Structure 1
Amino acid sequence: MGRKVYTNYWLNRRDNVVKEHGSYATEEEALRGIKAWWELQKDNYKDVKERRTNSGALEITYGDSNYYYRIVEREFDEELPSLKVKLRSQGEVESLRKKFFLEDEQALFDELAEPYRDRLVEAMGDGKKVQDYIYDQQGRMIRPLKDNK
């Protein structure tokens, strides 16, 4: 039997899109992950509402009712991803920058200021996944690293 985890999903009702954002040990951590994401994106929602669904999920709406988050409790048979990040060496960073032709305003996770790195790990709930993206200098995600060819 697995253990309980709380998974964040972002939903777009208009286009019928569901994106998983990460899984956490507690519902409170999952909610902090959503708020960390908003902070990184410089989103400042005034009309944030939380409601419990009949299935027990926590839904977070923020302004437009077509977009919302849902935190779902589920069983998980594996360990949650580690929140620890092994930063790349300067040589690895330089090599990746050249390989993917990154511009000056684009950054790898390892190049971001520590507060942005901390928020990204909290928002994604995965110390490895954070290194799979290209960011701007303020820690906002631009695109996956593998798509930058």
Structure 2
Amino acid sequence: MGRAGAARDVRRLLEAGLRLVHLGAEGTGISEQAFLEVERLAVELSRRHGRLRFVGMLAVVVQRGVGELARLTGRSPEDIAAEHTGFCPDRGLREWMAEVMRAPAGAAWSPPPADAPIAPAMALVHLHVTVCLALCGAPDR
């Protein structure tokens, strides 16, 4: 599958992550099953497209969102990364996510930790959702 297929699957995965937020917003709550289905999709698509390639495509989306949030709020990407990665109890994964968020869109970053407690693609889906929510509440400059 080529780059266009991978880009389609990136959108598909990110939309699935955003639907989790919609379920919670409607008062139905996010079920563990719904979360696990999105995580399963993240793992499946990472395998299909090559883990680092797919994670790299997701990272660019997150990085662009962080850049826009920094522009709108006047906050640094470092501050934004610190705020959005605090949920993760695993230090290695948390530091990797922060590294990705601090980097400009498309910039290089270290590979994700091999022993991460959740799939790196799923971690980026979570960051995408939290950055999108922050962008919704960000004042226009």
Note whether the superposition's TM-score is higher than 0.5: no
Structure ranking higher on relative contact order (CA contacts 8 Å, 6+ apart):
2
Larger helix proportion of the pair:
2
Q: What's the TM-score, normalizing by structure 2?
A: 0.30
More strand by share: 1
